[in-house]
Structure 1
Amino acid sequence: MDKELNPAFDLLTLTADIVSAHVANNSVTIADLPSLIAGVYGALAGLKAPRSAEEAAPQPAVSIRRSIRPDTIVCLEDGQQMKMLKRHLMTHHQMTPGDYRAKWNLPADYPMVAPNYAERRRALALKIGLGRKSAKSAPTPAIAPAKKPKTLRKKLSMFAPSE
């Protein structure tokens, strides 16, 4: 039997090395030794086991398509309905919108606010004048350089006392 191709042999060797190093530096009773060996072997075997597909791809609380509703947006993490998602993500899940989109494989333009709420805020902003250019910020038309103003010449005869 080839030692390099047998994974069970590798696990046993690693287990023996780890347990012997632990026992050399710590006092372990003989009764605890089998449980220590089994624990180390189980931990090493668990590292080698492939992860299941369920762990790799988490399931959302609702489908992505149904998460956007006219008046609410649904959090894929916990299924809560709300108008604005960004603050909820940070306070309850410690995620930024970018992290959230990456975890659930969402497009970059996936909304973090309910559509009707965004429209109401947009209308309110336009109503109070946001989004319009003010008269001060409008560019002034190019004016030709002004000519030098003519100086008034004093006519001596006008100011001279009449005789």
Structure 2
Amino acid sequence: MRSGAGAEERHLSKPSAQRSCPATVTNRHSGFSLIELMVVVAIIGILSMIALPQYQKFAARAVVAGALSELAAGKAGAEALIAEGITFTVVDDPALVGLPSKGTHCEEFIAVGGGTNFTLECFLKRGGSLSLTRDSHTNMWSCLARGMDESLHPQACRRR
């Protein structure tokens, strides 16, 4: 048994491999520093300052284009009335030319006629108006936008 006890003593007297190496402590931090986060926040802020006004203008132009689309639906009805020879000065009911009383983007529709001249008008909910006017000499429709920034005018309503 003595040999077994000696082995135990030898085992206890030998320094372990873990104790023989000096303990090195490294403090490695993972993640982002405060400066890096501040740079990212600054970049996002600058991009949003540029993008937000552009998006608002895009949304406003989409509303005006939608209003023109709603108004253009009345052109076919007006042409049908003119083809039937019906003349009037004011259409009390916009449904006669195929327009609803109110639209998604238009607060009110008005149809005015005089002979074979015809004007359809949409008053936008956000302010301003769009009108489509039929010329009796050329039988062409022209568009006019009023009461809004010129950059919001649909392409068909821009002055040439």
TM-score (norm 1): 0.24
Higher relative contact order (CA 8 A, sep 6+): 2
More strand by share: 2
